[in-house]
Structures are given as structure tokens and as C-alpha cells.
Structure 1
Amino acid sequence: MLKERCLKGLGEILAEIPLESIQPRDGLITTKVNITSLTSYNLLPKPRKTIVVPGSPPIWSPPKTPRKLKPDEGRYPIDANRFVFRHCPLEPVFRALSLTRPRMRLTDIDLVTDRRNLRLLLAFVAGKKNVFRIDAEQVHNTTLFTSWTPRAVCYFRGEDGYGHEFERAATRPPRGFRDSIAHHRVIRYRFGDVNLILRHEVDACTGSAEEIRRVMPTSETRVTPTGYTVLKGGAFVAPSRVVEIKTRPAGKLVRVSRATEQLWFSQTPVLGIGVYDGTGTFTKIVERDVSRTGVLKTWEENHQVQLKMLAALLRAVVELGRTSGWKRYALVASDETVKIFNLADQVGQGLPVDLRYLWE
């Protein structure tokens, strides 16, 4: 069923990359090089069609324990960017870059992607038999990966854990950002021989909200040709303050290993874990600096083969995109093969024309 939904809207097969054909190159360095934090933004509710740049994540402020919470219930967007920016989910990345780094050009960037896509492809090269799709677009020499999900929103019925409710209880939104639905951060680094820009969601940041309060949203606004508003405001937080939040049932070993892969790709240094019992009472909250304690480096060392295979796969896709003349296409992984399909509809989607100056 999922595979059928992944194929919806796709045309002919353009190429295939079998798992067995992906060979890690000797001497390839997969330690991230030249990590640079570029920009960030907050997404406001969909009807407002607005982002705030650089915005601010919520402030990490875990409650005293024990603390009883209700389970997650209601409607949540699966991918907030795709939910708000339906025609081009990567558009806010480039809108934010054009505001905070107006002189930056993207001619030397091989790939722009969400963190989720790299995790899916890493699982593929590791031999996990997951079916997934990634939409792609070629802009000059740069490949754009867009996350794809079967639907835009999901519904929780009080039986699916406490992740969203714990985030609310353990964070404080800075004044001026109380109606934000998500905060995203954009970083750049070299992975293997691929120069990439990566977007990832930020759950929270450590420290005081005072500097955020001093730089509130201003009256400086830009209205884009696509009908969105870009509002300048907030403050860009230091990389060392970024926090990922997780929850775990009591009785299970509280380990960072299950989250380390996610933290590694975005170089997120702090992990906050809420531990709850069968009644929904959070009995313990653990905060760990996984960067300072060497957890991220250890994970990297233990996954060199998979990371080298991932770097080889990314390079193969980038080169195919550059030399093939493809415009918009999709990667579908199943049966130990990544198949690349042409999109049946090439009109009305993709990167807005006015943003292509970033490659000039």
C-alpha cells in the first residue's frame, strides 16, 4: 500500500541504483568538514503564510518531576514546511538565506536537503528494507531533495505517547513567537565529497530568553512573488545551545544511541529525555551534552562503512542529476534498489523563479 502511494504522480523510470552497486571509496573522509550555521526561521500558522527570520526556538525549561501529562491528541502536521509551503517546501530555506546572507551564492553547493532524507538513505545503504520516496529538483548544478510523506498531517487519539505534550511542558516560547508551529535551522558542511546544505527542525535551545526578547519581530517585512511574508525578527542562537527532545517509557534503558544518528546529521549537541510511567507521569528528565562527551564522534566511528556508502550514493545521485538534464524527479527505495522516476506533472511546482538568482 505504501509503495503504491509512493508511486502516485510519477512517470517513467529514469535510472536505477541497486544497493549492491554502491561501494564505499577507499580514503573517503566522512567526518563533517567546515560546519557552518547559515540561518534559521519560524513557521507561523498556515493561514498567515509567514516566516520569521532568524526567529527563535522555544527555551528549554524542563518542569519539576513528578509531572503528569495527558497523552498526545489531535491534529499535527507531519512536515510543517510541506504543510505551509505546499508547492515548494524548500522555499523558506532560500527566503531565509536571501535575508540573512544576501551575498551568498549556491554555485558550489551539490545538495540541499532535509535531515530526514539523509536518515532514510542511510537506512537504505545499511540494508533496512524500508519503502520511502524523496522528491528532487535540479537547479543548475545543485540537487534539491524534498521530504515526501503519504499525507500532510497525522491524528493522535491519546494512544501514541507523550512527545508533543512533553515538548510543550518542557519549553517556553519567547515572547513574540507563541503562535509559531516550528523552528528550523539551516547549516552547511562537506560530507564525503558532497557539499551540502541541511535543514532540520529544532525543538528548543538552552539558556536565557533575554537576548531573544531584546530582538523582537520588527516592522521590516518582505512579500514574496509567491504570496508569502518574510518578517525579520528574533535572534540567531549559537549552535552549542540547540536541543533535541525525546521521551522514553520508564523501564526501558535511557540510551542516547537511538537518537544519535539524528543528532549527528544536524550536529545537535544537547539531548533532553523525559521518562514517564504507565500513568503518563514523568518521573525523570535527563539532559546530556552528546557532543562534549564524545557520543557523536563514537557513533561516527562505529558507522564508517554505512556513512561511506551514503556519501557514494549521494554523489551518484548528484552526478546523475547534473548530466541527465532532469528537472523534477523522485527517488523511490524498495527491494534493495533506488529507482529514479520522472514526475508526471512538471508544471506549477518546484523552486520559485525569483530565487534562481542565488545561483548567478
Structure 2
Amino acid sequence: MEGLKDGVIRTISKPSVDISTGEAIKPENVTYIGSYNWVEEDQPTIIVPGSPPEWRNRAFPYRVRYDTGARWVDQNSFRMAGSSCLLPLLRAVDVVCEDNADTSFDWSTVDIVTDRNGLRKLMRWLLYSGAESAAEPLKEFRIDLQLGGKKTVLMHRWEKRTREIATPPRSGCGINFERESTTPAKGCERSTGHHRIVQYDFGGLKVVVRFEVDACLPQPASTTSTLRTSRTQHASPATRTTTSTSDVDSLTNIMLGLNVSTTNTAPASPPSRATDIAVIHGGTQVPQSSIVELVTRSENYIDEFSWAEQYPQLLLSYTPHLFLAAHNRGNFERMIKHELGSTELRNIEDNARVQRTFRKLAAALRAIQDLVKGHGQRGRLSLVCQSDGTLEVYQRTSDRGVLPDSELERFGI
């Protein structure tokens, strides 16, 4: 509730929908528009387009240690301490569009800009029933909102903490499994996490979604271009200037994944509150068809895998591959591969409960859009979901927006 005015200005009700008519709702016309990797620097620094770690396809069995130490909850907010966590999203799209000589992307046509995390939180709220509270309590969440242009809703992720401490054995070994099962792409050896941005149509809305990527299927060998480092102020892409040049081989001090088993890869203190983002040009634009979500489960609970939780994560980012690895106290012996479009997952997609929730999500996003549009470009609203399932709207005390005014120009007036 920090920075929010007293008094609820509105309570949002769960929409009711009719699933007896119309086609199934899912992301359509999915298009890759940007990506980047974070690297460890005092100043916020990203590699664009960057690349996800490549799946090694190691032969089972092999052993992985439990995760320990600090791990990311929201690396974007941590790295952009004091600034907008949406800025690296915009920077990456700008650079990728420029590299692709693509001038067709029109931000003013976008209805929603969000992290996948925000969509998943709204889906959990839609699925929540008080009767389930004892077994599956709803976690409180907050999303800050602002209008860009005439209709674009900017959904700014808000977390109580941007890192957490992994404590074995409850922490599992998912992060270390990623580290042991993938290889960093050339030019991205120092990466601390890869993020991808896609655009798609969803229930009549044009949505831009950012999400973290665990891995990708190996790509054909290609020549990586020389890297150049650009420091860009919070302004339009036209102001970008080059200040230094380096080779791919200069990226040393390897830091793999988000965490390692015996060291804390999440920094002990926040980076400096810099007013710009350093952009290193490197990595490769990988096809959407190669993106992989890695999930680990104990052999004791592999049969209790929750598709109700996992499937929306796949579909809302259109991640085509899910690799589900089973272990016994860190000893991995088998893996189950799932693909979007398979008969199994198509049955889940067509499930009445899933379709009802996706339709409700589209309706809820339209209601949020109407609310934000009604408060205009100077409106400063926040969604706050309480643990009892109540979704309330508050006004923020500060006039500061979720993006600098100079960035809002791209969304129109």
C-alpha cells in the first residue's frame, strides 16, 4: 500500500462470460518484437537482442544440487531501481526494430503493455474461490497502471521484494537444473537472465507481453556480429549514440543463469540509480518455435503436476515447448516433453474451465482499460488484490508516471 491514497475508488468484480458461443480464446498472430539479456554492471546494462541459453540435451541420469542463496523475483525492477522497469522492454524493441529495418511497429495501436506475470496474477484472481482458500490461498498482489496515448494501458509490475533467499530443500533445484542443462549463447556468457517481448491479439485486444525465457533449442551456427555499446538517455531511439566498441570475446567473467549452487548471483546491493541504460549489441534473434520452459518436480509429486497453473504460463507467452524433469533429491533420471498444439495440450486449451478463464481475462483487461482511459493521461491508478480475492483500485499519491513523459510520446497524444 506504499504510496497509495486512502480510500478505494472502485472494486472490480469478476466478469461473467458465455462460453457456449464463439471460438476458443487464445493468443493469435503472435509476433516477436524484441529481446534482451541482463548483465552484471553498476549501470543498468542489457545485451540486445541477446539470446536464451541453449538446451544441451544431456543424457540422463545426472545430479544437480539444490538452489541456495539469493534468486530473482523481478530482475527488471531490481536492475532499474528508481526508474521504470518497462524501460528495458522499450529499449529492446527499439533496437530490434532498428536492426531489422522495421518501421511498421505502431505503439499507438497497442491496448495493453504488460509482463506475463501480471496476466498470470489476474488469472489466479479470476480462478480463486473462497472455498479453495485453505488449500490454495491467493497471494496478494499490486499492479500500477497508467494510460499511454489514447488507449494503451501500461501495467507496471510491483513486488514486495525483487529477490528471495532459496532455502534447501524447499527451494528445489530448478535454477541449478537450468544451469547444468544449458549452455550460454555466444556473446551472452555474462547473462543473468533472458527476456523476450512478443505482440499478439487476445480476445479483441492487441497485447505486448514481456516474459523470461529459460532456454531455447540449439540454433544453426551463425556468425555473431561485432558488439558495440550504446548509452541511451530516456529519449527516442533517434538520440541513441555509440560511445565504445568491443569484441564478443571481451565478455568474460562467466555468470550462468540466475543463480548458482554455491554463490549468490543476485547482487547484495541495488545498482546505482542511473538515468540511462547501456545497450550492448550481441546475441541472436531466435525463432519463437525454439523457446523452452524448463520445469522440475520431485518424482514423488510428478503425477500431481498442475496444468491449471502451468498451461496459462505457456499460452500467455506462446512458449511452444515444456520440458518437465523429474528428480529424486536432485538426481535427475527422466524428462517428459510437452508441446503446444499436441493433442494433450489442445484438450487442456479447449477445457471449459480454461476457456471460461481466458474469456474472463480478456473481459477484465477491457474493464481495466476503460477504467484507465476514464482517468486520463494524468491518472495514477493501482490495482491491489487482497488475500480474500477482493480486487480494488487506488490512486497513487505521486504524480510520477510508470514511464518518463518523453517515452509516452510513442503512444500518441
2:212 to 197, 201, 207: 201
- Whichever residue aligns with residue 229 of structure 1, its letter is A
Cα deviations by residue, 1:124-167 (Å, 9 ceiling, x for unpaired)? 11224442211222212211112222111111133211011101
2:110 paired residue number = 109
Between the aligned partners of 2:334 and 2:315, the Cα distance in structure 1 is 25
Report the secondary structure of 2:156's partner residue: strand
TM-score in terms of structure 2 length:
0.79
1:282 to 318, 329, 332: 332
Q: Are 1:229 and 2:282 counterparts?
A: no
Retained in 2: the 8 A contact 1:260–1:295?
Answer: no
**Structure 1, unpaired ranges of 5+:** 1-6
Cα deviations by residue, 1:300-355 (Å, 9 ceiling, x for unpaired)? 211111111111111000011112225332101123331111112223x5212332
1:265: Cα distance to partner?
0.8
The percentage of counterpart residues that share the same residue type is 29
Cα deviations by residue, 1:27-81 (Å, 9 ceiling, x for unpaired)? 5652322211111111112524111111100001143222122110011121111
- Whichever residue aligns with residue 348 of structure 2, its letter is W
Between the aligned partners of 2:278 and 2:18, the Cα distance in structure 1 is 45
Cα deviations by residue, 1:180-234 (Å, 9 ceiling, x for unpaired)? 11111111111112211011111110023623xx224512524224321122221
- 1:201-350 map, 5 Å: 201-208=212-219, 210-211=221-222, 214-216=223-225, 218-219=227-228, 221-225=230-234, 226-253=275-302, 255=305, 257=307, 258-278=309-329, 280-288=330-338, 290-302=339-351, 303-325=354-376, 327-334=379-386, 335-347=388-400, 350=402
Retained in 2: the 8 A contact 1:25–1:312?
Answer: no
**Structure 2, unpaired ranges of 5+:** 130-137, 235-274
Report the secondary structure of 2:224's partner residue: coil
Between the aligned partners of 2:142 and 2:306, the Cα distance in structure 1 is 27
Between the aligned partners of 2:160 and 2:188, the Cα distance in structure 1 is 29
TM-score in terms of structure 1 length:
0.90
Between the aligned partners of 2:290 and 2:191, the Cα distance in structure 1 is 19
Closer/same/farther in 2, CA of residues 358 and 147 from structure 1, 3 Å limit:
same
Range moving further from structure 2, 132-141 or 240-249: 132-141
Q: Are 1:136 and 2:129 counterparts?
A: no
- Whichever residue aligns with residue 274 of structure 1, its letter is A
Retained in 2: the 8 A contact 1:263–1:296?
Answer: no
Count of matched residue positions in the alignment of Structure 1 and Structure 2: 347
Retained in 1: the 8 A contact 2:112–2:208?
Answer: yes
Report the secondary structure of 1:236's partner residue: coil
Report the secondary structure of 2:42's partner residue: helix
Report the secondary structure of 1:210's partner residue: coil
1:69 to 64, 83, 87: 64
Report the secondary structure of 2:188's partner residue: coil
1:8 paired residue number = 2
Q: Are 1:45 and 2:94 counterparts?
A: no
Cα-Cα RMSD: 2.0
- Whichever residue aligns with residue 139 of structure 1, its letter is G
2:201 paired residue number = 190
Retained in 2: the 8 A contact 1:28–1:308?
Answer: no
- Whichever residue aligns with residue 324 of structure 1, its letter is H
1:25: Cα distance to partner?
5.5
Closer/same/farther in 2, CA of residues 25 and 251 from structure 1, 3 Å limit:
closer
Closer/same/farther in 2, CA of residues 216 and 271 from structure 1, 3 Å limit:
farther
